[in-house]
Amino acid sequence: MNTKNITIRVNAEVARIFETASEEQRRKLEALLSLKLSDATRNKRTLEEVMSEISQNAQARGLTPEILNSLLNE
The domain locations on the chain are 12-72
Q: Write down the pLDDT at residue 51.
A: 84
pLDDT at 7: 94
User: What pLDDT score was predicted for residue 43?
Assistant: 66
Residue 45 has a pLDDT of 73
Residues of the chain with pLDDT under 50: none
Helix 23-42 × helix 47-60 angle, to 10°: 120
